[in-house]
Amino acid sequence: MQAGKAAGSRDAGRPLQATMKRGYDVLRDPHLNKGMAFTLEERQQLNIHGLLPPCFVSQDAQVYSILKNFERLTSDLDRYILLMSLQDRNEKLFYKVLTSDIERFMPIVYTPTVGLACQQYGLAFRRPRGLFITIHDQGHIATMLKSWPENIIKAVVVTDGERILGLGDLGCYGMGIPVGKLALYTACGGVKPHECLPVMLDVGTDNEALLKDPLYIGLRHKRIRGQAYDDLLDEFMEAVTSRYGMNCLIQFEDFANANAFRLLHKYRNKYCTFNDDIQGTASVAVAGLLAALRITKNRLSDHTVLFQGAGEAALGIANLIIMAMEKEGVSKDAAIKRIWMVDSKGLIVKGRASLTSEKQRFAHEHGEMKNLEDIVKDIKPSVLIGVAAIGGAFTQQILQDMAALNKRPIIFALSNPTSKAECTAEQCYKYTEGRGIFASGSPFDPVTLPSGQTLYPGQGNNSYVFPGVALGVISCGLKHIGEDVFLTTAEVIAQQVSEENLQEGRLYPPLVTIQHVSLKIAVRIAEEAYRNNTASTYPQPKDLEAFIRSQVYSTDYSSFVADSYTWPEEAMKVKL
């Protein structure tokens, strides 16, 4: 009898998982725990027989139980806590639930509910997830990484909590973002959860309310800045890559503008890193624009783009739009002239004081203007993109003017959470007489027009981007992540939008297809990496898609039945 045959036949051919743990250690490990789905044989072999009720249930029945509990709850924060508690005790079941209806659960584990969860993180905190590294741990980060139980880490999401969504400085409460982000790495992209590490770099907080909050879980002092901050980041990057390899993906998340661009430029050519707020947001926004072009029937370089906001997201989107326009054959200078920006002080124009180098690139010859309504009338944009987290910034007048200026105005209200959205889907469709091509950062309900047509507003969620990028980068061992990766990703996402989707008002594929979209992105990234000799996983797989599929995490339970088999009787005879 061959090794593994006996065990496989006893447990329906499920993959075997070995563990040295026994008893309560098994039930307390979320990577191993299956609850009442353990078979009798598994319970006996793992010394957990008697520690569970004498009942055997399937994983599907467990999913049903979680759904019933989920439906009983009335607040999204309580639902978030329910799902995070499940993640803490049974990882496979958590991801089985998430992937059973990703459209339903994504707004709970990520935007917009994760924003509320971060604000209430002291109340919601149950069990530590990830690594908390502080400014006082400088010189010892390599030692702290050794405390993490997993030796193989392929992806790290790190934040310093200074700019959480549109909510500002939440300090250590911002840990909810890397945790939620990595949950989507797995649910949407299939990256193995035990190969992911969420990290909070706690350098203090300038949020006075948090400093006075008795439930606050972070350092209680003002943010440390300057050289000490930079030294901490340098040590962190070096420690991570020394322990987990130069190919370990490090995603920067929710850093303030002052640091986000600087750190991206500093590390992008040395490490395998990207900033999702800059590059991920850019990719998903450009994907929406590319899909919208199939409605407007023209080229991106034919449009004039006006941004409400000039921070990380706006500058990232603008730079990727320039790349996309250049691909159409337009010069870089001509592309830049098609893009205008408005920040807190008004229209960005040449000669205006205190412009950063990033903003100066988009400063054009024009008189200074402050009121957005007046700016829209003067610039006459065909594309209006909101990324300044100013709720209601796109007023009725602005939306009506956009409709008067354009047959099919493109209006993206991308700020998160929902309360910060520049306008709602209903407002956009109402004030543009149903002609607006709309996308948002947070989800909005379908809108039925007076004509009876129902439109399903597209949600330009970064989760269309980062899970597929991560899967592709990890699978082929990409050493550095260039801007071309994000333009490729945008093109793949736009290609997945069907004509039927566009007729329904969707600029993005339905969320239910996100795993398929992530796989397509990963395969394209890997194909281009091998073509450009930037991959490091060799030999190159003959069938890239099959190879990447084989890397994807399975939410199905493994079998813990011992791999037992027999020898020939003659070999087992006792010799006297």
Catalytic residues, by residue number, are: 110, 181
Distances (CA, A) of 154 to 157, 198, 477, 484: 10, 11, 10, 22
d(CA 244, CA 242): 6
> Which residues, 6+ apart, have CB-to-CB distance to 226 below 8 Å?
none
Question: 175 vs 132, 154, 182, 280, CA distance in Å?
Answer: 9, 19, 11, 19
* Side-chain half-sphere exposure of 502, counting CA atoms within 13 A: 16
* 190: nearest Cα among 492, 547, 485, 471: 471
User: Biggest alpha carbon distance in the chain?
Assistant: 103
End-to-end CA distance of the chain: give it in Å, rounded.
Answer: 26
Separation between Cα atoms, residue 428 and residue 426, nearest integer Å: 5
In angstroms, rounded to a whole number, what is the distance separating the alpha carbons of residues 228 and 90?
39
Instruction: Report CA 6 to chain centroid distance, whole Å.
Output: 42
> For residue 445, what are its two tokens?
């309900």
Closest CA to 315 of 340, 287, 352: 340
Quick check: 223 and 211 in contact, CB under 8 A? no
Q: Which two tokens stand for residue 208?
A: 């006075």
b/e 279-318 (16+ beta carbons within 10 angstroms → b): bbbbbbbbbbbbbbbeebeeebbebbbbbbbbbbbbbbbb
| Contact by Cβ (8 Å): 73, 51 | no
Q: Phi then psi for 134, rounded to 5 degrees? A: -110, 170
Report the interhelical angle of 514-531 vs 176-189 (nearest 10°).
90
The values of phi and psi at residue 308, to 5°, are -95, 100
Pairing of strands 305-308, 155-159: unpaired
Hey, what are 228's tokens?
């000490």
Question: Which positions ≥6 away from 317 have C-beta within 8 Å?
Answer: 281, 282, 285, 286, 307, 385, 387
Strands 447-448 and 437-440: unpaired
Helix, strand, or coil here: 411?
A: strand
Considering Cα of 169, then 394, then 280, then 86, what sign does the dihedral take? positive
Q: Rounded distance, CA 502 to CA 505, Å?
A: 5
